[in-house]
């Protein structure tokens, strides 16, 4: 008989388990790896959403009823041979955490096999609209930002030792703002794109702050679901959940460098979601309707944000959380050629074939 047991949250009425699940990360994460932890209230909101959309939330307890780890399991609705493990946290200070982990992984994989899942992916909190990715150690790992994953290195190593290999890589590239008179190395291609954009009859407008919830969020929802429909592990979500994601970010940061792209006929063609985090301009999301993709418009949108950052004497621009090989990473790569002092924070998700 195992010394461990699994407590599975059955529904929203299981308040005691829900509270324990939501607070667990704050109990086990230690400085400096507790940067940017999801709030308990947000965890509970996602837990409720997950319970209504096929997620299973587990806590593994030892024979003394002490919780050693938590995780969530879900079969991908649009790709039922794939499953995800998310919300992973473990008490590294418990003497039996390795044994608990082995037990949890074994039971999780058995559960997925029973659902005819052939491939597991981790870490993904429900789907890729929410938190995902392990952070990779690096020389410039610190300081960290609240908008990026800061997982202890043990988390990734645990999954690697259980047979999980790299599935996808991501990075955030940090560019110091270097100025030589009016010239800013690394921005020439962005400025040229901005000029081409205007010459072709496109223009940019700021977000409509007064009508952000009623006008902008439904527009961004529509464009995002078109622009990202082919993205890794993409899944449609409802407008309310999408709105809560963006509204939460807008309430936290100054998003004035963001913009909406307007085509020559006056139609909304896409948007750039960018914000200031202290001295950093963070380029978070670029979404274009499919008919406008491939026209090199994204670089011009980014230049409008960079120009605002220069005017405010911001010190850095960050191309944030980009999957390697995507267009936005290629844009960052062009800037990186001219910015010899840039650096990256790297992240991965892992997979295992069952």
Residues 129-140 have pLDDT tens digits of 999 999 998 888
Give CA–CA dist 272/298, Å, rounded. Answer: 8
User: Tens digits of per-residue pLDDT, 309-343?
Assistant: 988 989 888 989 988 864 444 434 444 444 557 78
Helices (H), 29-144: 40-51, 97-114
Pick the closest to residue 158 from 115, 118, 100 (CA basis). 100
Sorted by sequence, the CB contacts under 8 Å of residue 95 that are 6+ apart come out as none
Give me the chain's average pLDDT, please: 89
User: Tens digits of per-residue pLDDT, 233-252?
Assistant: 899 999 999 998 888 777 78
Give, as one character, the DSSP assignment of residue 206.
-
Question: Which domains does the chain possess?
Answer: 5-170 (3.40.630.30), 179-338 (3.40.630.30)
pLDDT reported for residue 16: 92
Tell me the pTM.
0.88
Q: What residues does 71 pair with on adjacent strands?
A: 58
Quick check: helix, strand or coil at residue 221? helix
Statement: residue 30 has pLDDT above 80: yes
Statement: residue 180 has pLDDT above 60: no
Task: Work out the pLDDT band at 178, boundaries 50, 70, 90.
Answer: low
Helix axes 327-336, 298-311, angle to 10 degrees: 50
pLDDT reported for residue 22: 96
pLDDT reported for residue 1: 58
């Amino acid at each position: 008989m195992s010394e461990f047991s699994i407590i599975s949250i059955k529904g929203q009425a299981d308040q005691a388990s829900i509270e324990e699940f939501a607070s667990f990360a704050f109990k086990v994460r230690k400085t400096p790896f507790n940067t940017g932890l999801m709030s308990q209230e947000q965890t509970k909101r996602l837990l409720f959403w997950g319970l209504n959309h096929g997620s299973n939330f587990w806590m593994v307890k030892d024979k003394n009823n002490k919780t050693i780890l938590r995780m969530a399991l879900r079969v991908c609705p649009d790709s039922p041979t794939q499953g995800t493990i998310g919300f992973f946290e473990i008490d590294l200070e418990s003497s039996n955490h390795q044994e608990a982990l082995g037990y949890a992984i074994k039971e999780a994989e058995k559960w997925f096999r029973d659902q005819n899942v052939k491939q597991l992916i981790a870490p993904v909190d429900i789907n890729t609209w929410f938190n995902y990715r392990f952070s990779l150690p690096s020389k410039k790992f610190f300081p960290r930002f609240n908008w990026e994953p800061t997982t202890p290195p043990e988390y990734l190593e645990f999954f690697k030792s259980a047979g999980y290999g790299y599935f996808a890589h991501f990075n955030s590239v940090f560019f110091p703002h270097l100025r030589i008179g009016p010239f800013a190395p690394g921005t020439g291609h962005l400025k040229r794109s901005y000029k081409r954009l205007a010459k072709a009859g496109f223009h940019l407008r700021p977000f409509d702050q007064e009508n952000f919830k009623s006008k902008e969020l439904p527009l961004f929802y529509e464009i995002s679901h078109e622009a990202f429909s082919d993205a890794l592990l993409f899944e449609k979500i409802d407008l309310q959940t999408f709105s809560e994601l963006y509204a939460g970010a807008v309430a936290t940061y100054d998003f004035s460098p963001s913009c909406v792209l307007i085509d020559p006929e006056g139609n909304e063609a896409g948007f750039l979601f960018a914000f200031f985090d202290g001295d950093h301009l963070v380029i978070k999301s670029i979404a274009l309707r499919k008919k406008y993709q491939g026209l090199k418009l994204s670089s011009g949108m980014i230049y409008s944000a960079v120009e605002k950052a220069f005017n405010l004497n911001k010190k850095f621009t960050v191309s944030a959380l980009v999957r390697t090989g995507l267009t936005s990473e290629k844009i960052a790569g062009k800037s990186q050629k001219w910015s010899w002092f840039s650096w990256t924070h790297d992240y991965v998700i892992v997979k295992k074939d069952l």
